[in-house]
Amino acid sequence: MLWSIVVSRALAFAVSYAVATVAAVGVAGCAHPTPSGPEETLRAFADAVRGGRTDDAYRLMSADYKKSHDRDAFAHSLGPSEQRAAARLQRGKVELRADVELTDGERLALVQEPEGWRFSRDPLDFYPQRAPDEALRSFLRALERKRWEMVLRFIPLKFRNTITAETLKQRWDGAQAAELKQQIAVVRAHLDEPMEISGDEARLPVGERKQVKLLREEGAWKVETLE
């Protein structure tokens, strides 16, 4: 199904470079000089933890982290198991990422490639449904923002004769509202878990004998059941 997205919210990009997320687990190295980049920071942190240099390791934590973890609390957390965990940093890689934060709080990810920074998905497609996991996230986002016409795009064709934007609104704002929000909270708690995909069907277990079921119609993933 083709998307017709009206982008009325201007792409007021607040590109948060601060979210240069280190996705991994890197290599040990030297510690004392101020690291020049994320890879060097990861090496320095691993080396400091393994060498028992708590001050050097704590110096590499962010200002936000330090607001809720003082130096003593950090030092107390560095037991033998954490030192062993630091050794695992040698077997990973560093991936630079940045976030674009839109005015309504939606975030878009960028990744750094040899040619420069690139969007990891279409920045104008706010409710993608090309894959089951992104379709489920888009569906929940549309529900929570009460974008009823958008929610309808995620309803399988066999239900479209009985579900309208008005019935969705009545259900969300009516007596079942608390139950629906609880359902969404349960599903959100499992969003990072792997889905079971078989052909044009996908399932996400969300508890004992409960699951979210999606199906693909005309190339777009839709939500058949939440539980």
3-state SS class at 36: coil
What are the pLDDT tens digits along the chain (227 aa)? Answer: 323 332 333 323 333 333 333 333 333 344 466 777 777 888 888 888 888 888 998 998 988 888 888 998 888 877 776 666 676 766 667 778 888 877 755 677 888 888 888 988 777 778 889 899 989 999 998 998 899 999 999 999 999 889 999 999 998 888 888 888 888 899 989 988 999 999 999 999 998 888 999 999 999 999 999 87
Instruction: Output the pLDDT for position 105.
Output: 58
Instruction: Output the pLDDT for position 156.
Output: 95
Crossing angle for the helix pair 38-50 and 80-87, to the nearest 10 degrees: 140
Instruction: Output the pLDDT for position 209.
Output: 82
Give the H/E segment covering residue 161: none
What gap in Å lies between CA 169 and CA 146, rounded to an integer? Answer: 7
Instruction: Tell me if 110 sits within 8 A of 120, measured CB to CB.
Output: yes
Domains of the chain: 38-91 (no CATH), 132-225 (3.10.450)
Instruction: Output the pLDDT for position 24.
Output: 35
Instruction: Tell me if 89 sits within 8 A of 42, measured CB to CB.
Output: yes
Closest to 137 (Cα-Cα) out of 111, 162, 100, 107: 107
Instruction: Output the pLDDT for position 91.
Output: 63
Instruction: Tell me if 50 sits within 8 A of 31, measured CB to CB.
Output: no
What gap in Å lies between CA 150 and CA 137, rounded to an integer? Answer: 13
What gap in Å lies between CA 17 and CA 22, rounded to an integer? Answer: 12
- Give start and end residues of each alpha helix (H) in 18-62: 38-50, 54-59
What gap in Å lies between CA 218 and CA 197, rounded to an integer? Answer: 17
